[in-house]
Amino acid sequence: MPNYRRYRVLGGAYFFTVNLLERCSNNLLINHVESLRTVVRETRKRWPFQIDAWVVLPDHLHCVWTLPEGDDDNSNRWRLIKQGFSKALPMTERRSAVRVARGERGARNAVFGIMSSGTAAHVDYCHINPAKQGLVGRVSNWPCSSFHR
């Protein structure tokens, strides 16, 4: 089992990328973005955090959060989001025999890093990503983004 070392800062700002287990030709996230939004809203009621930026793409998402002062527990927040989203999905997704045997669905582990500086650059990265991926010509045309706030 890997022993990941997480850099934790109480009340820090974190940049995350979360990928689907199966990314190839998979639109699961945008097809079920309302379920994801609901789960995030419910998680924030129990475990508050500020959303500085968020973009949902077909097979992955990027976001920037700021945790409350004195709090560095982003892991439990992601556990609840991934668990709630997976449970909200209809049982129609394509899963390999290995994933079925393990009971795996939906999103895999979040990749994240703390931002000591440059929060604006990470926010910009979230917002520009749909255009970078070739999904839209203009950032403002992507509906699943906090750019519209």
Q: What is the CATH number of domain 13-148?
A: 3.30.70.1290
**Using an 8 Å Cβ cutoff, are 127 and 121 in contact?**
no
CA distance 2 to 29: 27
The model's confidence at residue 53, banded by pLDDT at 50, 70 and 90, is very high
What is the model's pLDDT at position 6? 62
Percent of the chain scored above 70 by pLDDT? 80
Q: Is the pLDDT of residue 39 over 70?
A: yes
Q: What is the mean pLDDT of residues 91-109?
A: 69
Largest CA distance in the chain: 43
Interhelix angle 74-88/33-46, rounded to 10 degrees, is: 140
Q: Calculate the average pLDDT of the chain.
A: 85
Q: Whole-prediction pTM value? A: 0.83
